Amino acid sequence: MAQNSQRQGTHIKFSIVIPAYNEEGVLGPTLLSLKRLGTLRREFEVIVVDNNSVDHTSEVARKYGADKVVIEKQPGTNFAREAGRKVARGDIIVFLDADTTPGMDWLSRIEEDLSRKGVVAVSGPYDHGFTGIRRFLDMAYTTYFLPIVPKILRILFWRKAGVLIGGNFAAYAWALEKIGGLPPLKFYGDDVAIAMLLSRHVGKVFFDPGLRIKSSPRRFETEGFLSTALKYISSYLKIYFSEEYR
């Protein structure tokens, strides 16, 4: 079920897809932040995919200006993202989490990064608002380590790789179509699988440390900083070596 965009007759450059499960408390500020982007509003559409919420996520999405609200009953981030991708009309599909706040130049920087030779997808890190040693470790990891991970793995294991942060990445619509849409994974490894398929079968996946957006630290707060980081790392390596995404 979807709410139709009012700009059916216009060309859309970007489609922003936001998967959301019980996000009534955080979705409003995220949608408001999109109204402050430096990109003309007529150049992008906003699609919220309600992943079978039991709260008022859909109502909040409509209240704060989503062009389309899609209901996806199959639980899982990639199931929701794929439902949004299927109704998207933009040349570039952009994926955003429901608790994030991008800067004014977010879409223009994405477009600039995608104009690089051979690049078909781009991603950037989150700013979780950490302080002290956690901030130092997070900044070092996302600024210096993540961008070179694919090169290191290629040298060591002769397999291409890419790095995508699921709530802050974009790809050409045709590139996602070429890999058959987003792989049906729920979480932890969902974005890794996308990165592997794109980098191995379509083109380059570029990680831009400057494409940083604000995001809630709630997962780290509930699951623990070290535990969450280890889950991400282990999921990445599991998908990297998986024959399914070779």
What are the tens digits of pLDDT across the range 107-117?
999 999 999 99
Considering the segment(s) 14-245 as one domain, its CATH architecture is: Alpha-Beta Complex (3.90)
Q: What is the DSSP string of 41-80?
A: GGGEEEEEEE-S-SSSHHHHHHHTT-SEEEE--S-SHHHH
H-type helices in the chain, by residue range?
27-34, 57-63, 77-87, 106-114, 132-140, 149-157, 173-178, 190-201, 218-223, 225-241
Dist CA 151 CA 156 (whole Å): 9
What are the tens digits of pLDDT across the range 220-242?
777 777 888 888 889 999 999 99
What are the tens digits of pLDDT across the range 29-84?
999 999 999 999 999 999 999 999 999 999 999 999 999 999 999 999 999 999 99
Map out the domains of the chain as residue ranges.
Answer: 14-245
pTM across the whole model? 0.92
Largest separation between any pair of C-alpha atoms in the chain: 51
Contact 29, 61 (CB under 8 A): no
